[in-house]
Amino acid sequence: MKEKLTLMIPGPTPVPEKVLQALAKHPIGHRTPEFQEIVRQTTEMLKWLHQTKGDVLSITGSGTAAMEAGIINTLSHGDKVICGENGKFGERWVKVAKAYGLKVEVIKATWGKPLNPEEFKHILENDKDIRAVIITHSETSTGVINDLQKISNYVKTHPKAIMIADCVTSLGACNVPMDDWGIDVIASGSQKGYMMPPGLSFVAMSQKAWDANMESNLPKFYLDLSSYKKAGDKNSNPFTPGVNLYFALLEGLKMMQEEGLENIFNRHKRHKKATQEAIKAMGLSLFADENNSSPSITAISTKEIDAEIIRKSIKDDFDILLAGGQDHLKGKIFRIGHLGFVNDRDILTAISAIEATLNKLGKLKAPIGKGVAVASEILLKSL
Ligand SMILES: *Cc1c(COP(=O)(O)O)cnc(C)c1O
């Protein structure tokens, strides 16, 4: 039943009906008081979500637009930066930084392992010219979470450096208190924790980031955040924004406020735990270490069988879309997204579909039903 496809990938994520209906409304003029009111409300709620008193600016574009905006609005040609790279999205940061002529020092970790904060500390202590530390908080390609709080703490003690973070799959899934942790730039995108379709991205800027902006000389026009700030102060946009996407954003953020941050974080924690334990109970192995695992995505290694066969079979038989591995991990892992508009039933359904599929393929190493039993036990008690 292809019409009933369930997305369990780490973006785009499922969209609630309220949000879909908001998208279907007639567009309104983006220079009207009605639209300004929507900008005002969504901006307030975005600050709530980021736990910041600073600015959160919305750009019509995908998450990468927000990443690029974060770099070009705070840095200058030839600036030295440190980029963390332990997956596909860390690689993207390196590419963006290099595209703008920055001098990039890359700190790597094997895909599936977290970045080591002490390596950042070491370079920061020995090089006072570093202008930015740039990392991915939740590395979607591997299901690893990096220690953003610790790395940000080291950056705070440096005279010049600012902390830039991709929080695309951590914001709205686990605690990311921007002001408390001293993060200067946070990039995120609408199709992840926001429970809405792709098309909007968000850049949060601290005062330190605006100070850096005064000196930044990298070329920019559409992504020039000072123009978003100027318009934003009047509850407006520099260009024509995705008007209907703003309708959706308003509904999505209202739903998030009704649930509350703590409840949202707990739901993601329970779903992660239920997924991880069920996967192990089925005799499969987790790709990322449980102590450093992302709240929104679980990657599973499949040693004896091509992961793509499992994924295709689950899509064909059960209409559930799971994500595959990227680059050298293609065929070696598959990934379950549990981000955004996901409930307990979705988790049980995904686990039972995986179990049934492994059984069909003759690769299930545990008694059938074990995964579902373990997951349901975790889901029925609160953490
Ligand atoms: C999805 C995602 C992005 C944004 O990708 P776009 O395709 O540009 O929206 C960036 N970083 C991470 C970690 C992601 O998961």
Domain parsing of the chain, residue ranges: 17-258, 260-381
Q: Is the CB of 11 under 6 A from ligand 1?
A: yes
Q: Is the CB of 12 under 6 A from ligand 1?
A: no
Residue 368 CA, ligand 1 centroid: distance in Å: 35
Q: Is the CB of 64 under 6 A from ligand 1?
A: yes
Atom of ligand 1 nearest to the CA of 138: 13
Q: Is the CB of 226 under 6 A from ligand 1?
A: no
Atom of ligand 1 nearest to the CA of 189: 9
Residue whose CB lies within 8 A of the most ligand 1 atoms, among 71, 89, 95, 190, for a mutation test? 89
Q: Which fold is adopted by the domain 260-381?
A: Aspartate Aminotransferase, domain 1 (3.90.1150)
Amino acid at the residue 145: I
What DSSP string runs through 142-162?
Answer: TTEE--HHHHHHHHHTSSS-E
Length of the chain: 383
Res 230: pLDDT: 98
Q: Exposed/middle/buried for 47, CB within 10 Å: 0-12, 13-18, 19+?
A: middle
Q: Is the CB of 326 under 6 A from ligand 1?
A: no
SS3 of 176-195: the string is: CCHHHHCCCEEEEECCCCCC
The closest residue, in CA terms, to atom 6 on ligand 1 is: 63
Res 383: pLDDT: 62
Residue 262 CA, ligand 1 centroid: distance in Å: 24
Residue 197 CA, ligand 1 centroid: distance in Å: 13
User: Could you tell me how many helices (H) and strands (E) the chain has, helices first?
Assistant: 14, 14
Q: Which two tokens stand for residue 126?
A: 């020995």
Res 304: pLDDT: 87
Q: Is the CB of 10 under 6 A from ligand 1?
A: yes
The closest residue, in CA terms, to atom 4 on ligand 1 is: 63
Res 381: pLDDT: 85
For the chain, list the strands marked E by DSSP.
6-8, 55-60, 80-85, 103-108, 130-136, 138-139, 144-145, 162-166, 185-189, 200-205, 285-286, 297-301, 320-324, 333-337
Using an 8 Å Cβ cutoff, are 270 and 383 in contact?
yes
Tell me the whole-structure pTM to 2 decimals.
0.98
Q: Is the CB of 172 under 6 A from ligand 1?
A: no
Rounded distance between C-alpha atoms, residue 186 and residue 136, angstroms: 10
Q: Can you give the pLDDT of all 383 residues of the chain as single tens digits?
A: 889 999 999 999 999 999 999 999 999 999 999 999 999 999 999 999 999 999 999 999 999 999 999 999 999 999 999 999 999 999 999 999 999 999 999 999 999 999 999 999 999 999 999 999 999 999 999 999 999 999 999 999 999 999 999 999 999 999 999 999 999 999 999 999 999 999 999 999 999 999 999 999 999 999 999 999 999 999 999 999 999 999 999 999 999 999 999 999 999 999 999 999 999 999 999 999 999 999 999 999 998 899 999 999 999 999 999 999 999 999 999 999 999 999 999 999 999 999 999 999 999 999 999 999 999 999 998 66
Using an 8 Å Cβ cutoff, are 222 and 75 in contact?
no
Residue 12 CA, ligand 1 centroid: distance in Å: 10
Backbone angles phi, psi at 86, to 5 degrees: -135, 35
Q: What is the CATH number of domain 17-258?
A: 3.40.640.10
Residue 166 CA, ligand 1 centroid: distance in Å: 8
Closest CA relative to residue 81, chosen from 99, 65, 102, 98: 102
Closest CA relative to residue 317, chosen from 282, 357, 346: 357
Residue 36 CA, ligand 1 centroid: distance in Å: 28
Residue whose CB lies within 8 A of the most ligand 1 atoms, among 135, 140, 245, for a mutation test? 140
Q: Is the CB of 169 under 6 A from ligand 1?
A: yes
Amino acid at the residue 187: A
